[in-house]
Structure 1
C-alpha cells in the first residue's frame, strides 16, 4: 500500500490519501475538524498529517464521521485520548453505530469468501495489519445538533445518504465547492479493477439498493471537487460522477 499523501485541495481543506482509506482535515485559524480517521493502525499517519499542518490533536474541536466502519473510525479511540475537547458528530443512526449499539460491517467470513477475487488477498493482508479485526467503538459519538451547516471549519453541511450503512453521511462544503462522499461514492479501491467514480463491491454495503438510490441525493449538489473515502480526489461535479456510475451499471 502507498504511504500517506497530504494534499491541500482548497483553502482550509486538506485531503489525506493512503493506499487503503482516506480522511480530510478542515482548518480555520487554530481550529481543526477531522472527517474520518482511518484504521486503528493509521493513528501515526493521522498524527503525521496534523503535524505537517502545524496542528496538534488537542486542537481538534470536532470529528465528523461519514460512517462507523473500522476503516473510518479505527484510530479514534486512541486519538480522542489526546483530544479531550473534541466532539464526535454524525447522524443519529450512525452515532449509535459508532457506539456499537449495533454493527453493519462485512464480516471476516464475507471477506474470506472473496479471497479468490483479484486484489482481495493483498488488501486483506494490509487491513489485518492495520487492525481491521479490532473491536472499535466510540462511546462519545453523538448526533448533529440540528439541521444545516455545522459551526466548525468549512461549515460542512451533512447530507444523509443511507445505504452503505444505515446512517451514512456525506459532507458538502459549499464555500470550497467540495463534497466529501465517504463510501457512498468512491473513485478507486484496492479490490476494484477500475478507476473513476464507482460504488464499492456489494459485500461492503449494508443495503446495496439503498446505496444506489442515495446517489440521487448527491447528484444535484453544487460542487466541483469530490473527496471520497477511497481513491483519489477528482475535479468532477457530483452529477458527472453519478452519471459515470449509472453508465457503468449498463
Structure 2
C-alpha cells in the first residue's frame, strides 16, 4: 500500500517503498498550486511520487523543482525518470553531484561495487540521465522560490561532500537527507525514536558532519524531515542521541583501526552499540528483531568507517 502522510504547511511524506515500509521517504511541498519534490527514492518510487501529486489535484506541469539532497540512489536514483514526467521541472543538485546525474555511468559503477550487480539491478535498475539543460546547481545560501515560498539551500558535508539540506521557513523545518541521521519509526523506544548517523561509503568525515549538524540546529528548527524516515519534532532529543552515537562510532573505529578481522569487529561493535542504546531507551522489541532491521545499516556503516580509517593513514596526496 502506498503511504502518504500529510504534514502542516503543505508538506507530504511519501513512502517510496524502497527496501521496506517506512524506510525511505521523499517529500512533496505544495504552495499555491505549485510543487517541489525533495528527494525521489529509486526508479521504482516514481509512480508513488506522481500519485502524491495527483492526490493534491495537481498536474505534472505544476512541479517547478526536483531537489535531491545528494546523489546516493536511495535519494536521487529516480530523478531522471521522474523528470521525464514533469515538463517544467528543473533538477536542483549540489554542484559536486550534478555530473553524476547527467551521466550516471560512474554512479552505477560505484553502486555495483558496494552492493554487487544483482542487488544494484534489483533495487535501482538503470538510471535515466538528466538532460544538462534541466540541471540547476546550488551554492550555499541560495534561495529557491516556490510560488513565493523561500527554500534555502545550505551546504552540509560530512555524510557526503555533495550534500546540501533545504530550510523551509514556512514550517521552520529542514529537509535533512542523511545529515541529521536515521531514525526508523519501527525502532521507537519509550524515550522516543532511536537515532544514529549514517557513515555509508565513501565520504564520511566526522568533523564536517558535527559542524553540519550544529549548523542545522542553529536555526532552532521545529521539525526535521528525514529521508530515513519521516518528520520528527523531537529535535533536541534526536540531536543529543546523534552526537552521542557519532562520538561512539568514531571511538569504535579508531579502537579497531589496526585489529585483525577489522571488518567483522566493526560490524559487531556497531551491532552492540546500537542494541545497547535501544535497550537503554526502553525498546521492547526483541534484540534479534532490532538487529535484523539494522543489519543493512550496520554493514554500510562499517564499510564507511573502514574507508574513513584508510583515508587517515593514506600517504599525503592520495586520500
**TM-score normalised per structure 1:** 0.79
2:213 maps to 215
1:138 maps to 130
User: Is 1:77 the counterpart of 2:68 in the alignment?
Assistant: no
Please tell me whether the aligned partners of residues 24 and 228 of structure 2 are also in contact (alpha carbons under 8 angstroms).
yes
5+ residue gaps, structure 1: 113-123
User: Is 1:183 the counterpart of 2:181 in the alignment?
Assistant: no
Q: Which moved more, 1:36-45 or 1:80-89?
A: 80-89
Q: CA RMSD in A?
A: 3.0
Alpha carbons of structure 1 residues 34 and 225: separation in structure 2 relative to 1, 3 Å: same
Please tell me whether the aligned partners of residues 77 and 138 of structure 1 are also in contact (alpha carbons under 8 angstroms).
yes
Please tell me whether the aligned partners of residues 71 and 101 of structure 2 are also in contact (alpha carbons under 8 angstroms).
yes
Rounded to whole Å, the distance in 2 between the matches of 1:243 and 1:61 is: 36
1:234 maps to 232
Please tell me whether the aligned partners of residues 80 and 101 of structure 2 are also in contact (alpha carbons under 8 angstroms).
no
For the residue of structure 1 that corresponds to 2:145, the secondary structure is: coil
1:246 maps to 243
Alpha carbons of structure 1 residues 134 and 57: separation in structure 2 relative to 1, 3 Å: same
Rounded to whole Å, the distance in 2 between the matches of 1:16 and 1:205 is: 27
Rounded to whole Å, the distance in 2 between the matches of 1:211 and 1:106 is: 22
5+ residue gaps, structure 2: 249-319
Query: Residue deviations 1:43-84, cap 9 Å, x none?
Result: 111111111121222211111110112222222222212212
Deviation of the 1:88 alpha carbon: 1.2
For the residue of structure 1 that corresponds to 2:225, the secondary structure is: strand
Deviation of the 1:160 alpha carbon: 0.8
Q: Which moved more, 1:154-163 or 1:39-48?
A: 154-163
- After superposition, residues 54-133 of structure 1 pair within 5 angstroms as 54-100=57-103, 103=107, 107-111=111-115, 128-130=121-123, 132-133=124-125
Deviation of the 1:146 alpha carbon: 7.8
Please tell me whether the aligned partners of residues 142 and 153 of structure 2 are also in contact (alpha carbons under 8 angstroms).
yes
For the residue of structure 2 that corresponds to 1:155, the secondary structure is: strand
Equivalent residue pairs, number: 232
Deviation of the 1:182 alpha carbon: 0.5
1:52 maps to 55
Please tell me whether the aligned partners of residues 96 and 141 of structure 1 are also in contact (alpha carbons under 8 angstroms).
no
Deviation of the 1:174 alpha carbon: 1.7
Structure 1 or 2: larger helix share?
Answer: 2
